Amino acid sequence: MSENVKSSGNKPGAKRRPGKGGLIGIIIAGVVLVLGGIYIAGYLMAGNAVPRDTTVAGVRVGGLSRDEAVSKLKNEYAAEADAPITVVAGDARIEVKPADAGLSVNYEKTIDASGVGKSWAPAHIWRVLTGGGAVAPVKDVDQRKLQETVGRAAGEVNRESKNAELSLKGTEPVKVAGQNALELDQQALVKSLEDGYLSSREVTAKVQSTEPQVTDAEVDQAIEQQIKPALNGPITVDTGQGKFDVTPAMIAAASKIDIVDGAPKLSTDSAKLLEKAQPAIAKLDLKGAKDASYKKDGDTLTVVPSVDGSEVGKDNFEKAVMPAIPSTERSVKLELTGAKAKFTTEQAEQQKPKQVIGEFTTKFPHADYRNTNLGLAAQRINGNTVATNGVFSLDKALGPRTSSNGYVDGTVIAGAKLEEQTAGGISQSATTVFNAAWFAGLEDIEHQPHTMYFDRYPAGRESTIYSGSIDVKFRNTTDNAIYIEAYRQASSPGTQGSITVRIWGTKKWDIESPEPVKSDYYNTSEEIKGSGPSCIAQSAQPGFTASYYRVFKVNGSVVKREDKSWKYDAVAKVTCN
């Protein structure tokens, strides 16, 4: 019996067909072989020439050897690579040279990155196969130099804040603008320069700006809200016995501007304002207090009684005027206060001078101006009363030495020579007053001898006077009041005149002061030539040091001693044309 048998396998000798997975593998292998061939071909193609289409920042270097490409790039790109970069920092514009900032192009590395030479690096092979293209310049950055350059830029930009200022010039506000503090962000600028190199010729820096404590706006506000109201016209003060004005000029002179809580603040000193207002108050002719004094009748002194009166008192002035300064209401009422004499009739009787305790006379050669000026001086010195511990000022007693007050031109010392000025010769009264007070044992507060010596005065123990700067002042250190008597004997042609000052009081000490001693003479070879009507010829004379002293005694015993000295200038010869 026959059987049909089916075989499930391949027939003997039949070919096997590849499956789907095998086919993909074959394709991949083929691609790899192709790419590998291309990759190898790219490597083999690479040589010492830069790929044909290569450019660097617009400079064509394709087809050149490495060295040729480096040289060409240096020649054609260096000017652009080395061009300065402008840093804009606020209002400042700072030029930075790349070389100084450590910024440069590495030309060799740039050409190496173009695909020149052999390399298995994929990017290198790709550039060879594609013919090159644009290549970015390779930067070199010296961080130390870059940081130093930015630090120098910060030195130009950074500054401290400056407060706005406000002051008064007369009645006008004067404003000085403030300035903000500036601080450059150095790290940000380092990055900006590094990133912007070769791509930008201008870099904007970050600058932190900080306002000052006192700003321009605060000053403007103070002007509008404080200065202008305070100086907006006079304040009229009604005392009931007349009116006077406190003017803007007075207010300004008594005011100052301080910084309070970070803003300008105007403040006015009421006591100083009252002082500035005194000339206006004086015109009211108020019956003010008058201290007791003395007058001489023959050889005795009698008391001139004190007088009480009314005055513009400090407290009432402050209460009435100060609130009106910032106000639009410029008319106020002020209540006068009673004014009491500081040196009363009773005190004057108790402290009445009993005798002359100091006296001095100086003589002067004839000159009409001396008779006039020293006569006026004697009148103004005579009759002054100084209570115990009070101070006498000769400058105040003489008043302004002007022609309107009766003084005439005379000879004065001006530097190293003599010349004509108003009230010349008045210093003779200063020497006379100083010596009278010296022998009375009173405290010497201020005096200054002449710079050149006049032989009619005791050497060193003498004084000059100059309005506003040199005075003769002494304090009454006795236990009672003193009275100053002064008179002048006029000179005439051929005869000398004199001025005498006597100080009446109660004797406290016996004063001894021998004649001064001269020493250390010296000369000058200087000669001065002058001209004009004010020139006064003079002979040369030596300078020297004068020493003197006074001894205070009580019942024959020395209580204390005062020593003084003065160096006189050598006097140059003066000739007049």
Across the 577 residues of the chain, what is the mean pLDDT of every consecutive 10-residue run? 43 54 65 49 56 92 91 94 95 95 95 72 61 87 96 95 95 95 96 94 96 95 96 96 96 96 95 96 88 90 93 94 96 92 94 95 92 94 95 94 83 59 80 97 96 91 91 96 96 94 95 96 88 80 96 96 96 87
Q: Is residue 382 part of a domain?
A: yes
Structure tokens at 576: 């007049």
Q: Which residues of 544-570 are buried (b: 16+ CB within 10 A; e: fewer)?
A: bbbbbebbbeeeeeeeeeeebebebbb
Q: Is residue 420 part of a domain?
A: yes
The answer to whether residues 334 and 400 belong to one domain is no
The answer to whether residues 280 and 400 belong to one domain is no
* Residue 391, strand partner residues: 475
DSSP states along 181-206: EEEE-HHHHHHHHHHHTTT-SEEEPP
Angle CA 241–244–249, to nearest 5: 165
Q: Is residue 114 part of a domain?
A: no
The answer to whether residues 382 and 427 belong to one domain is yes
DSSP states along 366-399: --HHHHHHHHHHHHHHTT-EE-TT-EEEHHHHH-
| 325 CB-near residues (< 8 Å, 6+ apart) | 229, 230, 235, 251, 268
* Residue 243, strand partner residues: 238
Q: Is residue 547 part of a domain?
A: yes
The answer to whether residues 335 and 458 belong to one domain is no
* Residue 503, strand partner residues: 358, 484
Q: CB neighbours (10 Å) of residue 493?
A: 6
DSSP states along 87-132: EEETTEEEEE-TTTTTEEE-HHHHHHTTT-S----HHHHHHHHHT-
Q: How many CA atoms lie within 13 A of 284 on its CB side?
A: 20
| 303 CB-near residues (< 8 Å, 6+ apart) | 292, 293, 294, 345, 348, 349, 352
DSSP-H helix ranges across 266-367: 270-276, 278-282, 314-321, 345-350
Q: Is residue 49 part of a domain?
A: no
Torsion on CA atoms 307, 311, 315, 317, rounded to nearest 10 = -170
Chain centroid to CA 254: 21
Q: Which residues of 200-235 are buried (b: 16+ CB within 10 A; e: fewer)?
A: eeebebebeeebbebbbebbeebbeebbeebbeebb
pLDDT the model gives residue 403: 85
CA distance 135 to 62: 11
CA distance 482 to 306: 16
Judge contact between 251 and 317, C-beta under 8 A: no
The answer to whether residues 324 and 384 belong to one domain is no
| 223 CB-near residues (< 8 Å, 6+ apart) | 166, 173, 175
**Structural domain count of the chain:** 2
The answer to whether residues 481 and 556 belong to one domain is yes
Place of tokens 């480096």: 70
- Mark which of 342, 363, 382 sits at the end of a domain: 342
The answer to whether residues 414 and 541 belong to one domain is yes
Angle CA 236–267–282, to nearest 5: 35
Helix (H, G, I), strand (E, B) or coil at 249: helix
The answer to whether residues 357 and 333 belong to one domain is no
Structure tokens at 373: 């000026």
pLDDT the model gives residue 406: 85
Q: Is residue 301 part of a domain?
A: yes
Judge contact between 377 and 499, C-beta under 8 A: yes
pLDDT the model gives residue 44: 42
CA distance 230 to 238: 19
Torsion on CA atoms 138, 144, 149, 154, rounded to nearest 10 = 130
Q: Is residue 178 part of a domain?
A: no
Task: Say which CATH number the domain at 311 has.
Answer: 3.10.20
The answer to whether residues 390 and 538 belong to one domain is yes
Helix (DSSP H) and strand (DSSP E) numbers for the chain:
16, 36
**Which has the closest alpha carbon to 321: 236, 232, 223?**
236
Structure tokens at 128: 């060879």
**Which has the closest alpha carbon to 431: 404, 396, 455?**
455
- Mark which of 342, 374, 393 sits at the end of a domain: 342
Judge contact between 353 and 440, C-beta under 8 A: no
Q: Which residues of 243-256 are buried (b: 16+ CB within 10 A; e: fewer)?
A: ebebbbebbbbbbe
The answer to whether residues 390 and 317 belong to one domain is no
Q: Is residue 431 part of a domain?
A: yes
The answer to whether residues 488 and 424 belong to one domain is yes
Domain span at residue 568 reads 351-576
- Mark which of 310, 342, 374 sits at the end of a domain: 342
The answer to whether residues 361 and 472 belong to one domain is yes
Tell me the chain's radius of gyration from C-alpha atoms: 51
pLDDT the model gives residue 529: 84
pLDDT the model gives residue 49: 84
* Residue 490, strand partner residues: none
Q: CB neighbours (10 Å) of residue 156?
A: 12
Q: How many CA atoms lie within 13 A of 245 on its CB side?
A: 7
